[in-house]
Amino acid sequence: MDINGASAIVTGGASGIGAATARLLAAKGAKVVIADLQEDKGTALADEIGGAFCKVDVTNTDDIVNAVEMAKSMGPVRVLVNSAGIGWAQRTVGKDGQYESAANLDAFKKVIAINLIGTFDCIRIAATAMSTSEPLEYGERGAIVNIASVAAFDGQIGQASYSASKGGVVGMTLPIARDLAAVGVRVNTVAPGLIDTPIYGQGENSELFKQNLQKGVLFPQRLGFQEELASMVVECVTNSYMNAETIRVDGGIRMQPK
What's the CA gap between 194 and 219, in Å, rounded? 12
* Strand pairing class (7-11; 77-82): parallel
CB 122 within 8 A of CB 164: no
CA 94 to chain centre: 31
- Give the number of other CB atoms < 10 A from CB of residue 106: 7
Burial class of residue 27 in the structure, from the number of CB atoms within 10 Å of its CB (0-12 exposed, 13-18 middle, 19+ buried): exposed
What's the CA gap between 98 and 200, in Å, rounded? 32
Catalytic site residue from 99, 162, 200, 241? 162
What's the CA gap between 9 and 20, in Å, rounded? 13
What's the CA gap between 179 and 25, in Å, rounded? 25
CB 243 within 8 A of CB 208: no
- Which run of H or of E encompasses 247? strand 246-249
Q: Is residue 162 among the annotated active site residues?
A: yes
What's the CA gap between 82 and 21, in Å, rounded? 11
Look at residues 75, 83, 84 and name the one whose alpha carbon lies nearest to residue 8: 75
Sign of the alpha-carbon torsion through 71, 73, 74, 78 = positive
Active site residues: 162
